[in-house]
């Protein structure tokens, strides 16, 4: 990006010129008097966010000659709009004073009435050596190859990018990458993802029983990061992994972890929404009614998130006090298991049909094998 504040553009910018050209200085306006010159005494006037910059003085024959020489040196580095305007007015000035044109002025320049150029430089791209540049490149690579990668590959790359972002103390801006980053909570697509599989195996006795085995195993896990690897193993046996994406099937990683807001804001906001919703039900709702009366309590119970955002500081202080006693989805109970996570898994399992005869149970040496457990562990 061209920076006028630091660049040597014409002879007034060049300290060496003032030292070596003392003999001709008497024919030029002193540097401390340049501000008295008119805008038309320069080939170009550049307006930037930092101020105005008048360049290539053409107020007399000597100034025009030196401006032509300096333009010849810097023309290739000047932004196109500035080069065209400055070149046109310098060319006109050279013709007016009968001066030979330098090589940079030998071509044609589009005619322009004013010598004013408004210059708004493009944001400077981060250096390829910076953490930000590497992260942006990784995110771009993920997005450009998204449809060509398998679900497992997406998870592996999302983990690498998230780790790199954490080390550089930078956010992951891509929602797609965030959707494939492992989380210890179940996302909003979890139950629909399981429902797809339940419907698909409804008329396949062996696979139906195998899927129910998976559901039973899921409820015994206390870490949502392991769940999609288990489902993925089942999908490979059932042939569902070929139906991810365009085949209409939610892959288990997106189905388990996707749907949350981006990491920099989503974690806190999701938990707050969950707690406010929990507070508005049951005994919490009764406490709100007793504290605020009508109509505020009814408004809060209808729309806890929106009403909380509009509350005054004293009202919010009371709500915040009550929220301390509302467990988040990922808090643990006294036994060390994730209370909220387990209940969500159990709820999803109970919501699906489960009618299995003992004689229909598959051999547990299949998809629930030790190799599957190895894949799950290797995935994290």
Q: What digits encode the pLDDT tens for the residues 312-363?
A: 777 777 787 777 666 655 433 333 333 344 455 555 555 565 444 433 444 4
Band of the pLDDT at 123, cuts 50, 70, 90? low
Measured in degrees and rounded to the nearest 5, phi and psi for residue 250 equal -75, 125
Question: What DSSP letter does each residue of 41-71 carry, written as one string?
Answer: GEEEEEEETTEEEEEEE-SSHHHHHHHHHHH
8 Å CB contact between 64 and 89: no
Q: Residue 246: is its pLDDT beyond 80?
A: no
8 Å CB contact between 15 and 138: no
Q: Residue 251: is its pLDDT beyond 50?
A: yes
Q: How many residues does the chain have?
A: 380
Q: Which long-range contacts (CB under 8 A, 24 or more apart) does 29-37 make?
A: 29/57, 29/59, 29/63
Q: For all residues of the chain together, what is the average pLDDT?
A: 77
Of the candidates 154, 196, 197, 160, the residue with the CA atom closest to the CA atom of residue 179: 154
pTM score of the predicted model: 0.42
Instruction: List the chain domain ranges.
Output: 11-118, 131-179, 182-380
pLDDT number for residue 1? 54
Band of the pLDDT at 376, cuts 50, 70, 90? very low
Pairing, β 42-48 against β 51-57? antiparallel
pLDDT number for residue 364? 40
Q: Residue 229: is its pLDDT beyond 70?
A: yes
**Full strand arrangement of the beta sheet holding 116-118:** 51-57, 42-48, 116-118
Share of the chain above pLDDT 90, in %: 23
With a CB cutoff of 8 Å and minimum separation 6, the contacts of 37 are: 29, 54, 57, 59
Give me the mean pLDDT over the 223-251 stretch: 86
């Amino acid at each position: 990006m061209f920076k006028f504040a630091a660049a040597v553009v014409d002879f007034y910018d060049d300290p060496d010129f003032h030292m070596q050209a003392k003999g001709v200085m008497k024919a030029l306006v002193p540097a401390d008097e340049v501000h008295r010159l008119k805008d038309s005494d320069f080939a170009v006037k550049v307006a930037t966010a930092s101020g105005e910059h008048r360049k290539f003085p053409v107020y007399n024959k000597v100034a025009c000659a030196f401006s032509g020489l300096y333009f010849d040196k810097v023309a290739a580095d000047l932004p196109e709009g500035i080069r065209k305007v400055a070149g046109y007015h310098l060319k006109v000035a050279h013709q007016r004073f009968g001066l030979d044109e330098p090589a940079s002025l030998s071509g044609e320049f589009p005619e322009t009435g004013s010598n004013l150029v408004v210059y708004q430089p493009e944001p400077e791209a981060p250096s390829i050596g910076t953490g930000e540049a590497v992260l942006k490149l990784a995110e771009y690579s993920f997005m450009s190859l998204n449809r060509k990668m398998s679900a497992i590959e997406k998870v592996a790359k999302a983990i690498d990018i998230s780790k790199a972002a954490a080390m550089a103390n930078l956010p992951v801006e891509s929602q797609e990458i965030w959707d494939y980053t492992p989380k210890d909570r179940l996302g909003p697509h979890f139950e629909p993802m399981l429902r797809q599989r339940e419907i698909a195996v409804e008329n396949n006795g062996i696979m139906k029983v195998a899927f129910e085995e998976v559901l039973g195993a899921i409820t015994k896990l206390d870490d949502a990061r392991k769940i999609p690897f288990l489902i993925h193993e089942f999908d490979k046996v059932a042939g569902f992994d070929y139906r991810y994406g365009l085949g209409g099937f939610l892959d288990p990683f997106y189905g388990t972890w996707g749907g949350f807001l981006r990491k920099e804001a989503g974690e806190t906001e999701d938990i707050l929404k969950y707690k406010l919703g929990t507070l508005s039900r049951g005994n919490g709702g009764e406490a709100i009614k007793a504290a605020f009366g009508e109509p505020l309590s009814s408004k809060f119970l209808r729309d806890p998130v929106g009403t909380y955002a509009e509350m005054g500081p004293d009202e919010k202080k009371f709500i915040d006090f009550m929220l301390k006693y509302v467990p988040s989805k990922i808090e643990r109970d006294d036994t060390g298991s994730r209370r909220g996570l387990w209940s969500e898994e159990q709820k999803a399992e109970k919501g699906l049909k489960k009618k299995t005869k003992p004689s229909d149970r598959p051999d547990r040496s299949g998809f629930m094998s030790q190799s599957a457990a190895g894949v799950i562990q290797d995935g994290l």
